[in-house]
């Protein structure tokens, strides 16, 4: 993967870059603020960028605003938010810019390097990678799930695991059911959410976006 890293903590920024390069990825740039991130993406056109939400000068939402600009101006570049905080409004705003290539991981909940690089690869490939805690806070309140009313409890559970970026095989293992059963649930989710077969749309990603926005 070709990667641009935006992180204001210099030590973490360098460690992330070194970690990815040691695993054969090309780190095009490591920057410390939103403006430098925009410029680096425009120059290098990476597959994916790792973005801290809070960066200089105000340490509020500079990274997010840069990420939204990147999604709009460079739709082929995946964006992985890597933050210490669960900011649901930020995730919603970012997802509103498109339906593929988005991730949101919490720094203190990433268990190991393999988990991080696997998530980064999913985002670079147009998929999603969302921390379970982010998913829970985005869709936890029952008043926000009216759009998912047609789904059964099991189908919502399957969709929640899809939102975490899990494959059908991983979902089957988590729920202790067969892969065929998961495939039937996924097909039912697509049907009930009105997501027709299309060569141009990734129904799995669209279903996740519907889940997060509902």
Q: How high is the pLDDT of residue 142?
A: 38
131, 165, 184 - which closes a domain = 131
Answer whether 203's CB lies under 8 Å from 140's CB: no
Alpha carbon distances (Å) from 101 to 14, 71, 94, 174: 24, 9, 11, 24
Q: How high is the pLDDT of residue 90?
A: 67
106, 131, 156 - which closes a domain = 131
The CA-based angle 59-87-127, given to 5 degrees, is: 110
Spatial CA neighbour of 186 closest among 175, 174, 171: 171
- Together in a domain, 106 and 166: no
Spatial CA neighbour of 3 closest among 44, 52, 49: 49
Number of domains in the chain: 2
Alpha carbon distances (Å) from 171 to 32, 39, 185: 37, 39, 11
Q: How high is the pLDDT of residue 201?
A: 47
Q: What is the pTM of this model?
A: 0.68
Tell me the CATH number at 168.
Answer: 1.10.10.10
Helix (H) or strand (E) holding 128: strand 128-130
- Together in a domain, 125 and 67: yes
- Per-residue pLDDT of the chain (214 residues), as tens digits, is 999 999 999 999 999 999 999 999 999 999 999 999 999 999 999 999 999 988 888 888 889 889 989 988 998 899 999 988 877 766 777 776 655 788 899 988 887 888 899 999 999 998 888 887 777 776 554 344 556 778 888 998 898 888 888 889 999 999 999 999 999 999 899 888 887 666 444 677 778 777 776 6
- Together in a domain, 16 and 90: yes
Q: How high is the pLDDT of residue 198?
A: 61
- Together in a domain, 144 and 120: no
Q: How high is the pLDDT of residue 99?
A: 55
Residue 12 belongs to domain spanning? 2-131
77, 96, 131 - which closes a domain = 131
- Together in a domain, 77 and 29: yes
Tell me the CATH number at 46.
Answer: 3.40.50.2300
Q: How high is the pLDDT of residue 111?
A: 76
Answer whether 129's CB lies under 8 Å from 119's CB: yes
Q: How high is the pLDDT of residue 153?
A: 85
The CA-based angle 44-47-50, given to 5 degrees, is: 90
Answer whether 93's CB lies under 8 Å from 81's CB: no
């Amino acid at each position: 993967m070709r990667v641009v890293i935006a992180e204001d903590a210099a030590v973490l920024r360098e460690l992330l870059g070194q970690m990815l390069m040691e695993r054969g990825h090309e780190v095009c740039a490591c920057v410390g603020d939103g403006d430098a991130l925009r410029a680096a993406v425009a120059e290098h056109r990476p597959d994916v960028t790792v973005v801290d939400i809070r960066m200089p000068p105000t340490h509020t939402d500079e990274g997010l605003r840069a990420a939204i600009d990147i999604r709009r101006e460079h739709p082929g570049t995946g964006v992985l938010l890597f933050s210490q905080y669960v900011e649901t409004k930020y995730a919603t705003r970012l997802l509103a810019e498109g339906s593929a290539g988005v991730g949101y991981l919490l720094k203190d909940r990433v268990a190991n390097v393999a988990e991080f690089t696997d998530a980064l690869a999913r985002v670079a490939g147009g998929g999603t990678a969302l921390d379970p805690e982010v998913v829970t806070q985005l869709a936890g309140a029952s008043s926000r799930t009216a759009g998912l009313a047609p789904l059964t409890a099991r189908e919502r559970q399957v969709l929640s695991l899809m939102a975490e970026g899990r494959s059908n095989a991983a979902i089957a293992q988590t729920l202790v059911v067969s892969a065929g059963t998961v495939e039937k649930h996924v097909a039912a989710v697509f049907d009930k959410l009105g997501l027709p077969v299309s060569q141009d749309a990734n129904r799995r990603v669209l279903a996740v976006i519907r889940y997060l926005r509902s």
